[in-house]
Structure 1
Amino acid sequence: TLIDLVFVPQPHDRKLYDVIGKDGSTVFSEGYCPLPNKDHGAYLWGTASPFYDSHGNIVGAIECTRDISQRKQADKDLRIAKERFRKAFDASPAIMAVSEVADGRYLYVNDQFIQALGFSRDELIGISALELNIWSNPQERLQMIAILIQHGSVRNHLAHIRVKNGNIRIGLLSVEKIEFDGKQRLLVAMNDITELKETEELLRRSEERFAKAFYSASYAMTITDYTTGCHIIVNDSFLKLTGFERKEVIGYSDVELKFWLNFDTREQILRMLHKHGIVQNYDVLFKTKSGAVRNAHFSAVLIELDGDQRLLITIDDITEQKQMQQEVSRLERLNLIGQMAAGIGHEIRNPMTSVRGFLQILGSKSELVAYQSWFDLMIGELDRANSIITEYLSLAKNKPVEFSRLCLNNILETISPLINADALNGDKNVEWHLQKVPKISLDSEEIKQLVLNLVRNGLEAMTAGGTLTITTYIDGPDTILAVQDHGEGITMEVLEKLGTPFVSTKETGTGLGLPCCYAIAARHQATIDVETGPNGTTFRVRFKTEGT
């Protein structure tokens, strides 16, 4: 027993106790004692004090024992908790420190703190953040202290921290009051978000560059929903090209806008996207708000926007380019035909003139008067053949012309009675809108032929009661002649071949009327633009005003 140690403190007896000591003559000890009939024991704390007689001799001792099992368990739990805290603290990927409440001096820092800030442990322990001058923005420190005083803790406070080499790191700072080594301390944890912020900034700049490129692009661009095809964002070039307002497009699909000339175009594009993930410079035909048909190179690529799949679409309008290519090809064919006609025209016309003359002589003889109608028919057919040869000859680009400075309106006024008469015969109307235009270099006879061909085509395109409009006006440096009908428009198949020799939709047409118009325009260094739709067609002949 513990009393025995008062009298004979043997080493063998000391081994029975976890803790043993002496305070003066009093012996104290701590040890584990098995309990009878139990599968566990108890931790006991005991003291033994000696009794002395009048001569100072030990005659006895008094022993006091108490069960400290609960305290021992609490000590054990606390030790385990501290060990867990230190392991979690040291292993944490966050920048962590324990500091004094009063002055902020660091008591303990983890390895991540040392690695991130570049200081050694000796340079940190016992020094405050203020002394280290790690706050890049002192105002952020004052705001953090104010939050800590008001709420008792801090959550994700943005802080710019200066590390040892002078670089600035950005972090989200959290502070909690804890008990550490028996005293109240501050647990400081910071999540370094410098790379995240840099990535966000790069993303912001990238999105800004994309937005600038998207909205300032000269070609039409739109972002649509991959599933529904509804437009989410469109640039100004898209609106300018299609003629729609932004509110008429956003939230609507191409199908609802009747954008595609052919209904299955979008399905073909989606199949290509599904197979290849991208569409590049696919030739498409689309309709503007006014119904005008345009030709374009269509490109699309799948992108992710706000977590959803979208289509980034670019539409490069190549209508004018296509028209130019067709114009060059058509003019080359016209010139070839004109050169051939010029080569053989003389040889054909001479015998035709001789035949016509003899037919006139025969028709004047009294004994052949019964055949006069036949002679007239043959002479008429010869004249018709001669006019066709004349049209052939007009196709040649080197056909001689006589230019004079003339007013386009004056030429139109000279043939207006003929045009009005043609319209009246077909129960149709002609409206004239001749604005003041300057004199330009023109061949009067060729311009008459050009106008009559355009007018007759327009009249034939309309039903009875239709109105043809002839307009002249100035557009910048150009003088414009416009002939507008209100027919059903020109189909795409015909429009692509417009101006090609021998292409005609009329049963008795030669297909040379419009080619002659294009040839005449070319000799006048003019161009012909065509705008067609379900409500009619407009031919605009654009003459250069300046320098003529």
Structure 2
Amino acid sequence: MPETDKIYRMFFENSADAMLIIVNGLFIECNTATVVMLGYGCKKEIINSPPFKLSPQFQPDGKLSSHKAEEMMQIARERGSHKFEWDHLRKDGSIIPVEVSLTALEASSGSTLHTVWRDISKRREAEKALQESEHRFHAIFETIPDVIAITRMRDGVVVDINQAYDSLTGFSREQLVGRSSLELDSWVNAGDRERVIEQVREVGFVRNMEVSMRTSDDVVRQALVSANMINLFEEPHLLTVFKDISERARSRAALRESEERFRQVFEANPDPVVIARLDDGKILDVNTAFEQKTGITRLEALGHNSADLNLWVDHQRREPFLTQLKTSGEVNNYEADFRSAGETPKTGLLSARIIRIKNEPCILIVIRDISAEKRAERALIEMDQLKNEFISTAAHELRTPVASIMGYTELLSGREFKGVFSDEQKQDFFQEVHENSERLTKIIDDILDVGRIESGQRIPLRKSVISIEKLLEKIVSRFRLTGRHTIQIQLDPSMSGLIEIDSHRISQVLENIISNAIKYSDKNSTVLVRAKSAGSFIEFSVSDQGIGMNEEQKSRIFDKFYRADGTDTAVRGLGLGMSIVKQIIEEHRGTIAVESTVSEGTTVSFKLPAEAASGKQDTP
């Protein structure tokens, strides 16, 4: 069959794969591709060599090439053919991996094997690269701190997980692989997994979806899930990365709680609190107390500074405050006056600190309203001043009648004056002594009454039924005898003529009011004393045509130690009378009021319960 032999020879020589003929364990023929593959110059360098001579001493599995070559050829003889991988040596000593196909042939020349070598260097390189890639992936897969899981999309069965999964959930690889995450109940909300799968199917991935995972000991942890769809074994799988954010979630919750606590403290603080930017002073937030104290709403305040809102009464006080704050980072108890919701400015103590909000320097200001304390402080200073004036005035008021009494008694008792004065003059002297004694008694009574009131004691009342007309006539007659004023009495004919009062104390009231009317009005002017019915009360009033009082004087007329005119030329007195008058009227369950116009006169009126007694009438 010469034609067939020719065709085989052509195929043998022109094959791209290396082909060789082995007879009795030796290469007896090879094609050109073999020479090229091994890097030899001609076939003669290869022919008559056993396979192991063209191989390294050991194969990749560690076996001697000589032993393994005999083993592979024997298998081919027994089976008829055999395919395996083999490392050959090029002429330059480099190794070339090949896939060897041995086919047993029947020949008269002995044991014959047809050999085909196919270069698998590129496949080996690809396999090596794949192996290295898998090694790198596995290293990353196992060492990355985030949890990585590969699950089948159709049923959630876990194909693989990394070691971090154990630290997050407490489930080991052995417990998870081959089982469904739904079966293990590791998703707190099963719907979260469905949302992940649905989004992956729609857009191909999920990024940082927050979910809750349950650990093996039933502890819930927060995680951010990122996922991609991958194909494994020709089936869609889910590559999922879980980032444990439990600490971050706890910190976030703690921050929210802290912010809520701050907000509650901020809002509940009874003092106005302001948060503003340091650079331009624009307000970022104010509390409810600020709105109430200033009358400026939060919306009106936001975005404006204190200058825009005209809060500072003295704008020159604002700059030193800001300068001190920027220099030292804090200010404590800086006193300044501020405009308030009312017309009267408030005095406040400012305490401020520089804080950072979103990395921007801001000011936290707390304003303590000390307006009441300042008023009390001024009142105390004024009271001390009034007391000092009272002591000086009291000494003077006491000295004057005492000096008069002593002077007249010396005149009446001195031997050198015996027979000098007539009986009429002596009677005048006795009258002066008596009047100054009464004056002295009244001063002492006033001081004792004030002392009693100051100690919290009530003024004792000894009530009796008296005639209103007789009471007024008796009091007015005293002033008519000694004064130049016209004093008139007007009585309401419709009122009851009787009233139950402490006649001594009400006489004290009327005498004080009438005395003031006379003191503060011109001589020969008229003082009108009236009594009339006012429902269930009897209203008494004393009107003069004197100098009158302004609003400030009227508001203080009942203050202890206060005198409308405190100058050296003023009408004498201790400033106690009207405070005692008010107390006596209130002890009678009555009320007292003052109406006055400067240069026109004053009317003092008081009401007493019209308790006309049914008992015996006393003499006033």
Which interval holds the TM-score relative to the shorter structure? 0.5 to 0.7
Matches within 5 A, 1:228-247: 228-247=280-299
What residue in structure 2 maps to residue 454 of structure 1?
550
Which of 314, 321, 326 aligns to 1:274? It is: 326
**2:214 paired with 1:187:** no
**2:110 paired with 1:57:** yes
Task: Answer whether contact 1:331 1:519 (CA < 8 A) is retained.
Answer: no
Task: Answer whether contact 1:501 1:512 (CA < 8 A) is retained.
Answer: no
Deviation per residue, 1:397-421 (Å, 9 max, x gap): 559999879xxxxx9xx99xx99xx
Matches within 5 A, 1:471-482: none
Matches within 5 A, 1:36-51: 43-51=97-105
**2:60 paired with 1:7:** no
What residue in structure 2 maps to residue 429 of structure 1?
none
Deviation at 1:87, TM superposition (A): 0.9
What residue in structure 2 maps to residue 94 of structure 1?
146
What residue in structure 2 maps to residue 83 of structure 1?
135
Secondary structure of 1:131's partner?
A: coil
* Aligned partner letter, 1:29: E
What residue in structure 1 maps to residue 44 of structure 2?
none
Deviation at 1:89, TM superposition (A): 1.0
Deviation per residue, 1:440-484 (Å, 9 max, x gap): 9999889999x9443488xxxxxxxxxxxx9xxxxxxxxxx699x
Deviation per residue, 1:135-185 (Å, 9 max, x gap): 222222332332233334333233221111111112122222335588754
Q: Within 1, Cα distance between the matches of 2:129 and 2:306? A: 70
Task: Answer whether contact 1:335 1:397 (CA < 8 A) is retained.
Answer: no
Q: 1:282 to 1:523 in 2, by over 3 A?
A: farther
Task: Answer whether contact 1:404 1:441 (CA < 8 A) is retained.
Answer: no
Deviation at 1:520, TM superposition (A): 5.8
Task: Answer whether contact 2:147 2:164 (CA < 8 A) is retained.
Answer: yes
Which of 79, 86, 103 aligns to 1:30? It is: 86
Task: Answer whether contact 2:152 2:158 (CA < 8 A) is retained.
Answer: yes
Deviation per residue, 1:227-259 (Å, 9 max, x gap): 111122122221221233444422211122232
Q: Within 1, Cα distance between the matches of 2:195 and 2:273? A: 47
* Aligned partner letter, 2:364: L
* Aligned partner letter, 2:168: A
What residue in structure 1 maps to residue 213 of structure 2?
161
Secondary structure of 1:128's partner?
A: coil
* Aligned partner letter, 1:159: V
* Aligned partner letter, 1:213: V
Q: Within 1, Cα distance between the matches of 2:542 and 2:451? A: 16
Deviation at 1:303, TM superposition (A): 2.5
Secondary structure of 1:155's partner?
A: strand
> What TM-score comes out, normalization by structure 1 length?
0.62
What residue in structure 1 maps to residue 425 of structure 2?
none
Task: Answer whether contact 1:99 1:107 (CA < 8 A) is retained.
Answer: yes
Task: Answer whether contact 1:2 1:47 (CA < 8 A) is retained.
Answer: no
Deviation at 1:88, TM superposition (A): 0.9
Q: 1:121 to 1:68 in 2, by over 3 A?
A: same
Q: 1:207 to 1:439 in 2, by over 3 A?
A: farther
**2:363 paired with 1:311:** yes
Q: Within 1, Cα distance between the matches of 2:537 and 2:348? A: 35
Q: Within 2, Cα distance between the matches of 1:129 and 1:348? A: 109
What residue in structure 2 maps to residue 226 of structure 1?
278
Q: Within 1, Cα distance between the matches of 2:543 and 2:329? A: 54
* Aligned partner letter, 1:45: E
What residue in structure 2 maps to residue 206 of structure 1?
258
Q: 1:252 to 1:10 in 2, by over 3 A?
A: closer
Q: Which runs of 5+ in 2 are unaligned?
A: 1-18, 27-49, 62-67, 408-442, 454-458, 460-503, 508-512, 522-533, 587-606, 610-620
Secondary structure of 1:122's partner?
A: helix
What residue in structure 1 maps to residue 381 of structure 2?
329
What residue in structure 2 maps to residue 263 of structure 1?
315
Task: Answer whether contact 1:224 1:233 (CA < 8 A) is retained.
Answer: yes
Task: Answer whether contact 1:397 1:523 (CA < 8 A) is retained.
Answer: no
Which of 301, 318, 321 aligns to 1:249? It is: 301
Deviation at 1:329, TM superposition (A): 3.2
Deviation at 1:190, TM superposition (A): 0.7
Task: Answer whether contact 1:177 1:186 (CA < 8 A) is retained.
Answer: yes
Q: 1:267 to 1:404 in 2, by over 3 A?
A: farther
Deviation at 1:309, TM superposition (A): 2.2
Q: Which runs of 5+ in 1 are unaligned?
A: 356-389, 406-410, 420-436, 458-469, 471-480, 484-498, 527-544
Task: Answer whether contact 2:211 2:222 (CA < 8 A) is retained.
Answer: yes
Secondary structure of 1:129's partner?
A: coil
Task: Answer whether contact 2:330 2:351 (CA < 8 A) is retained.
Answer: yes
* Aligned partner letter, 1:58: S
Which of 245, 248, 253 aligns to 1:196? It is: 248
Q: Within 2, Cα distance between the matches of 1:440 and 1:76? A: 118
Deviation at 1:6, TM superposition (A): 7.0
Number of equivalenced pairs: 422
Task: Answer whether contact 2:148 2:240 (CA < 8 A) is retained.
Answer: yes
* Aligned partner letter, 1:174: S
* Aligned partner letter, 1:454: N
Matches within 5 A, 1:67-78: 67-78=119-130
Task: Answer whether contact 2:561 2:574 (CA < 8 A) is retained.
Answer: no
Deviation at 1:290, TM superposition (A): 6.1
* Aligned partner letter, 1:106: V
Q: Within 2, Cα distance between the matches of 1:202 and 1:188? A: 29
Deviation at 1:289, TM superposition (A): 6.1
Q: Within 2, Cα distance between the matches of 1:102 and 1:150? A: 15
Q: Within 2, Cα distance between the matches of 1:41 and 1:184? A: 40
